[in-house]
Every structure is written in structure tokens, then in C-alpha cells.
């Protein structure tokens, strides 16, 4: 099993010390050659960014975690077909994006087919995953959480073609070139979509300006 | 539309507009939501339970999802069209007619199509209720001779036979399934196909009796006669002009039934009309 070394903390520490020095491509090559710790290091590097990206995309934490795992499963089984022509991060974000888009399409179908949806209200609880915090929350944090929920909702209402680049740019901090590669678009189109997405968000969040 | 130079620039290549920067900051300040603690454990279990084919086959899923039903639909549709084309609009009676074909005596079947004569001819040619009476014959006679039987009954009634006797002497009738008309069965009595060839042309008939002839407008001109053939034995010669065979005008369109044997041939020889008897 390739991920035997993920779970046991001691081994993860021992292997990750040596694997962390390697580039993504080197880790992929090592995984192809049967180095299971290399794939564990890839997972360790990308699990949080990919989960965060999918969560901001779908605004559903459980679904985001599920698709994040599916992303790594696909990477694992398709590792032989991966070519190092472009960055691994581009490759894995592209897989995650495609999965998220498929999920949104499924949601639309479910919405259309669901008769009970006619009687549901649009009010949804926007919950974010966060580690347990034993401290008492000050009012400032409460306000911040409310604002974060509104922003997340605003992002969710963006069309997919604007949602993907704005998340990658302003939340994930990707460069325009990387975003253009992930979306398989031209640089100009990518910039234009990001600009348009900001304009749309500005309209939706004007009360916070 | 006025071009806004700040629209396509941000921290990478230039400066953002104030509003765009605020939006970017709001998004950038959002909390990073990481993977749960049991992420690796769940991933490990997921990979262990997943088969490689399930994930690699996913690439072909759209093909299977859309192309396979389409191919199945075309296959079934094609089968229906092919089936209907083969039946050729015989309204579903064909299967029964086909099952009847092999048991029908050829002597009864042929004249109905070839000679286009009435059913009486066929029934008279058939042995009427002989001792070797078979179910197949019952079926055909019942279908084919209603007129003949009724005519015969009338004749008999004139001779003073009672209606009970008349009914008993009527040919037995075939019981057909509801909705099946016996007439289409009659229409299909003669099976198609070269193996059941039931007619031949005048040229073939003349060749069979030993004459090589050419049709010349309104008669057949004898080119040569095979020695010791029926035609030679009857006295036909080269140059004879054949006008009719057994009283039937013979042209290129005339056809004879299989087994047909002409008794006489009418010819013109040296401006004289002769009727020659054929001997086989």
C-alpha cells in the first residue's frame, strides 16, 4: 500500500525530512519508481491548499474534503500518465477544478429534479471548518466570521468561469500564468475574467466597503 | 467603451484600482481552511478500496454513457427496419403463409399465378378427395375452392340432393386464427425463388423440343432443328414460321407453366398453314 507511511507519525517525520528537499517532479518520479513515502509527501504538500481551494469553490466543507481526496486518488492512479511538461501544481489544480465543476453540474441536476426543492428556502447556514478553539470568542471575531460567511456566499454565487480564476488568484495566490495554464485559457482572457470577477464581487460586497 | 489601464493590471505587473484591491484583500484575508486531521487515513482507505480501472475507465465514461445507448437504439431500430423491409408489407400474415408453403402440392399452386386462371382449373387439376387425402390438401382446397364447391353444390341440388347431404359433401374448412384472412395465404401459395421456377419462355420451350428459333415480329423463325428431337420427329424444318403453340399465340412475352407439354404447333411453311402434332 502506497500510503502506509502516512499514518504512522514517526515514519512520516523520518521520511518527510528527506522528501521535503525534493521538487514535485522528483517526488512524482520517485512515486513512479515505487517510493511510497514520496506520494505521502505530495499529499502533505497539497492537501491543505487543494481542500481550501475546493471549499471556497463549493462552499461545502464535507464535499470539498471528499473531492480533495478524490483528486489525490486520481493523481495516484494516473501517476504513470503524468508528464513533467508543466508544473505538478497546475496538474493537480486542474484535476480539482474539473471535479468541482462536475460536482456543480450534479448539484444543478439534483436541484432541477428535486421536488422538495420547491418548498425549501434559500437560507443556508454557512459553516466553516476550523479547529476547536477553547478560548472565548470576542465580538470582533464574531463579526469577522459573519463577514467571511457573506464573502463565501458571494463567491459561491459567481459563475464558474469567474469563480475559478478569482479563487486561484486572490485566495490561493497563483500567478496569472499558472491560472491560465490551469484553466487552459489565454493570459488576456484570464486577466479579463479575474477583473470581471472582482467587479461582480464588488457589487455583491458593497456594504463592506 | 473606455479602456481602463488598471483593469488588466494588479500587484504582479502594476497597480490595482482601489476597489479591486479591497476585494483582493477581503478574499486574501479569508481563513485558510485545511484538510481534516483524518484526511490521510481516509485517503489511504479510499485508495485501498478503489480499483485502478474505476478511475482510468472514468475517462471513457462519457463515451459509454452516450454512445452505447445510441448504438443500442440504432441496432434495435435497424433490426425493425430490416425486418419490415424483408416482409415487404405483407401485413403480418407472412409467417403463417410461409409455414403453409412447403406442404402445398405444386400442381395446385402453380396455375393460380402463372396461368392466372380461375380456381376451378386448379381444383379440377387436383385429385378431388382421393383416398390419399392429406391434411395439407384439405387446407388448400378449403381455401381455394369456395366458388367451385358452391357451384358444384348448386348442380347437385338440381339433382335433388338434400341440404344435409350438400353440407356433408362440402369440403372441410380450415380453422384459422381470428383476424387472419385466408386470401393472403392463397396469394403466397407459390413460393418465390429460383429453386421453384415455375415458368419458362417460348425460346426455352422450343429449345427443349429441339428447335433453335428467332422471334421475328409476330412469329418464331426456325433456325435449326436437332436431329431425333421431338421437333425433328414431328417434321419441323429449318425456315418454318411458328405462329402458335397449342393454340396460344407465341411471342417473346409468352410463358408456359412448368411441366407444360404442347401437343400441336401451328406453322407457316411455303405460304401454307400447317398444324403439326408433337410426339415425345
Report the CATH number that the domain containing residue A79 is assigned in CATH.
Answer: 1.10.1740.10
What pLDDT, on a 0 to 100 scale, did the predictor assign at position B60? 59
The proportion of chain B whose per-residue pLDDT surpasses 70, expressed as a percent, equals: 51
**Straight-line distance from the first to the last Cα atom of chain B, in angstroms, rounded to the nearest whole number:** 107
Q: What is the pLDDT of residue A172?
A: 93
Please indicate if any CB of chain B lies within 8 Å of the CB of A16: no
Most confident of A41-45, B100-104, B165-169: A41-45
Q: Residues B142-149: what's their mean pLDDT?
A: 46
Same domain, A113 and A202: no
* pLDDT recorded at residue B111: 43
Q: How confident is the model at residue A47 (pLDDT cuts 50, 70, 90)?
A: very high
Most confidently modeled range among A94-108, B13-27, B170-184: A94-108
Please check whether residue A130 lies inside any domain of the structure: no
Distance CA A48, CA A133 (A): 19
CATH fold of B199-277, please? Pdz3 Domain (2.30.42)
How does pLDDT run across A136-154, given as a tens digit for each residue? 556 767 777 888 889 999 9
| Residue A108 sits in the same domain as residue A23 | yes
**Whole-number average pLDDT of chain B:** 69
The answer on A193 and A164 residing in a single domain is yes
Give the nearest partner residue to A51 out of B12, B34, B40, using CB atoms: B34
Among residues A66, A87, A117, the one where a domain terminates is A117
Neighbours of A38 (CB within 10 A): 23
Greater pLDDT, A32 or B141: A32
Of A137-141, B97-101, B148-152, B212-216, give the range with the top mean pLDDT.
B212-216
The domain containing residue A80 runs over which residues?
Answer: 1-117
- Per-residue confidence (pLDDT) for residue A66, from 0 to 100: 94
Cα–Cα distance measured from residue A153 to residue B139, given in angstroms and rounded to the nearest whole number = 83
Q: Say what the pLDDT of residue A151 is.
A: 92
* A129/B contact by beta carbon, under 8 A: yes
CB distance B93 to B187 below 8 Å: no
Average pLDDT score over chain A: 81
Instruction: Report which of residues A87 and B114 the model is more confident about.
Output: A87
Residue B42 is placed in which grid cell? 481516509
Q: Which of A198-207, B53-62, B216-225 has the lowest mean pLDDT?
A: B53-62
Quote the number of domains for chain A.
2
Q: Report yes or no on A123 lying in a domain.
A: no
Contacts of B46 in chain A (CB under 8 A): 69-70, 73
Bridge partners for B277 per DSSP: B264
Asked whether residue A164 is domain-assigned, the answer is: yes
Residue A18 lies in a domain: yes
Chain region(s) in chain B for CATH 2.30.42.10:
199-277
Which of A4-18, B21-35, B115-129, B248-262 is predicted most confidently?
B21-35
Do A2 and A101 belong to one domain? yes
Structure confidence at residue B160 (pLDDT): 59
Write the DSSP symbol of residue B279: -
Mean pLDDT lowest among A55-69, A117-131, B72-86, B258-272: A117-131
pLDDT (0 to 100) of residue A188: 94
B20 chain-A contacts, CB cut-off 8 A? 195, 198-199, 202
Looking at chain A, list the stretches that DSSP marks H as alpha helix, in order from N- to C-terminal side. 4-7, 9-19, 24-32, 36-58, 61-77, 88-113, 139-156, 160-166, 176-183, 187-204
Do both A141 and A109 map to the same domain?
A: no
In B114-240 the beta strands, taken as DSSP E runs, fall at 199-201, 211-215, 220-225
Q: Which of B32, B42, B48 sits opposite A48 (nearest CB)?
A: B32
Q: Which residue has better confidence, A117 or B245?
A: B245
pLDDT at B34 over 70: yes
> A6, B44: Cβ pair inside 8 Å?
yes
The reply to whether residue B19 touches residue A198, judged by beta carbons under 8 angstroms, is yes
Could you tell me if B94 and B188 are in contact, meaning their C-beta atoms sit under 8 angstroms apart?
A: yes
Q: Could you give the CA distance from residue B133 to residue B136 in angstroms, rounded to a whole number?
A: 8
Confidence (pLDDT) at B158: 52
Question: Do residues A113 and A179 share a domain?
Answer: no
Residue in B36, B41, B47 nearest the CB of A7: B41
Structure-model confidence comparison of residues A206 and A158, the more confident one: A158
A132: left (phi over 0), alpha (psi -120 to 50) or beta: beta
Q: Out of A35-39, B10-14, B40-44, which region has the weakest mean confidence (pLDDT)?
A: B10-14
Judge: B27–A175 Cβ closer than 8 Å, yes or no.
Answer: no
Whether A86 has its CB under 8 Å from any CB of chain B: the answer is no
Q: Quick one: pLDDT at residue B72?
A: 92
- How would residue B103 be classed by pLDDT, with cut points 50, 70 and 90? very low
Pair (A160, A82) in one structural domain: no
Q: Which of A83, A117, A151 is the last residue of a domain?
A: A117
Integer angstrom CA distances of residue B148 from B104, B153, B154, B169, B172: 19, 8, 10, 13, 14
Percent of chain A at pLDDT exceeding 70: 77
Asked, for residue A127, whether it belongs to a domain, the answer is no
A168 within domain boundaries: yes
Higher pLDDT, B65 or B108: B65
Question: What cell does B200 get?
Answer: 419458362
Q: In this predicted structure, which of A198-207, B161-170, B176-185 has the lowest mean pLDDT? A: B176-185
Q: Which residue has the higher pLDDT, B123 or A107?
A: A107
Higher-pLDDT residue of B58 and B222 is B222
B209 pLDDT band, cuts 50/70/90, is confident
* Residues from chain B contacting residue A169 (CB–CB below 8 Å): 24
- pLDDT at residue B135 greater than cutoff 90: no
Domain CATH number, residue A188: 1.10.10.10
Q: How far is B5 from chain A (nearest CA, A)?
A: 12
ipTM confidence: 0.74
Boundary residue ending a domain (A60, A84, A117): A117
Amino acid at each position: 500500500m502506497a500510503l502506509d507511511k502516512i499514518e504512522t507519525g514517526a515514519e512520516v517525520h523520518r521520511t518527510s525530512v528527506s522528501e521535503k528537499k525534493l521538487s514535485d517532479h522528483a517526488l512524482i518520479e520517485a512515486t513512479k519508481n515505487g517510493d511510497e513515502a514520496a506520494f505521502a509527501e505530495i499529499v502533505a504538500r497539497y492537501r491543505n491548499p487543494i481542500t481550501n481551494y475546493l471549499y471556497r469553490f463549493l462552499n461545502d466543507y464535507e464535499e470539498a474534503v471528499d473531492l480533495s481526496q478524490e483528486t489525490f486518488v486520481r493523481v495516484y492512479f494516473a501517476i504513470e500518465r503524468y508528464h513533467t511538461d508543466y508544473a505538478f501544481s497546475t496538474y493537480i489544480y486542474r484535476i480539482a477544478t474539473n471535479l468541482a465543476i462536475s460536482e456543480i453540474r450534479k448539484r444543478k441536476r439534483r436541484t432541477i429534479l428535486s421536488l422538495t426543492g420547491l418548498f425549501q428556502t434559500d437560507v443556508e447556514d454557512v459553516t466553516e471548518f476550523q479547529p476547536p478553539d477553547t478560548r472565548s470568542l470576542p465580538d470582533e471575531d464574531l463579526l469577522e466570521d459573519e463577514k467571511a460567511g457573506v464573502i463565501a456566499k458571494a463567491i459561491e454565487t459567481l459563475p464558474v468561469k469567474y469563480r475559478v480564476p478569482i479563487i486561484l488568484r486572490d485566495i490561493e495566490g497563483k500567478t496569472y500564468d499558472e491560472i491560465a495554464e490551469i484553466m487552459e485559457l489565454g493570459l488576456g482572457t484570464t486577466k479579463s475574467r479575474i477583473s470581471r470577477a472582482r467587479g461582480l464581487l464588488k457589487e455583491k460586497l458593497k456594504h463592506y466597503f | 467603451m473606455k479602456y481602463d489601464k488598471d483593469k488588466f493590471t494588479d500587484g504582479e505587473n502594476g497597480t490595482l484600482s482601489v476597489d479591486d484591491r479591497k476585494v483582493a484583500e477581503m478574499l486574501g484575508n479569508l481563513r485558510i481552511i485545511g484538510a481534516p486531521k483524518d484526511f490521510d487515513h481516509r485517503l489511504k482507505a479510499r485508495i485501498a478500496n478503489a480499483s485502478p480501472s474505476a478511475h482510468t475507465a472514468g475517462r471513457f465514461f462519457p463515451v459509454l454513457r452516450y454512445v452505447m445507448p445510441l448504438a443500442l437504439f440504432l441496432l434495435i431500430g435497424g433490426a425493425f427496419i430490416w425486418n419490415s423491409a424483408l416482409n415487404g408489407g405483407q401485413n403480418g400474415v407472412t409467417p403463417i403463409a410461409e409455414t403453409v408453403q412447403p406442404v402445398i402440392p405444386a400442381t395446385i399452386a402453380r396455375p393460380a399465378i402463372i396461368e392466372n386462371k380461375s380456381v376451378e382449373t386448379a381444383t379440377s387439376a387436383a385429385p378431388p378427395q382421393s383416398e390419399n387425402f392429406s391434411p395439407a390438401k384439405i387446407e388448400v382446397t378449403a381455401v381455394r375452392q369456395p366458388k367451385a364447391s358452391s357451384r358444384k353444390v348448386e348442380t347437385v341440388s338440381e339433382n335433388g340432393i338434400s341440404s344435409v347431404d350438400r353440407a356433408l359433401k362440402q369440403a372441410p374448412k380450415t380453422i384459422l386464427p381470428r383476424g387472419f384472412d385466408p386470401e393472403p395465404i392463397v396469394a403466397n401459395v407459390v413460393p418465390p425463388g429460383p429453386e421453384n421456377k415455375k415458368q419458362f419462355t417460348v425460346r426455352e420451350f422450343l429449345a427443349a423440343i429441339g428447335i433453335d428459333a428467332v422471334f421475328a415480329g409476330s412469329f418464331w423463325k426456325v433456325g435449326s432443328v436437332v436431329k431425333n428431337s421431338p421437333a425433328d420427329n414431328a417434321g419441323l424444318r429449318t425456315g418454318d414460321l411458328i405462329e402458335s403453340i397449342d393454340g396460344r399465340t407465341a411471342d417473346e412475352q409468352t410463358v408456359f407453366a412448368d411441366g407444360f407439354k404442347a401437343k400441336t404447333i401451328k406453322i407457316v411453311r411455303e405460304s401454307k398453314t400447317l398444324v403439326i402434332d408433337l410426339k415425345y
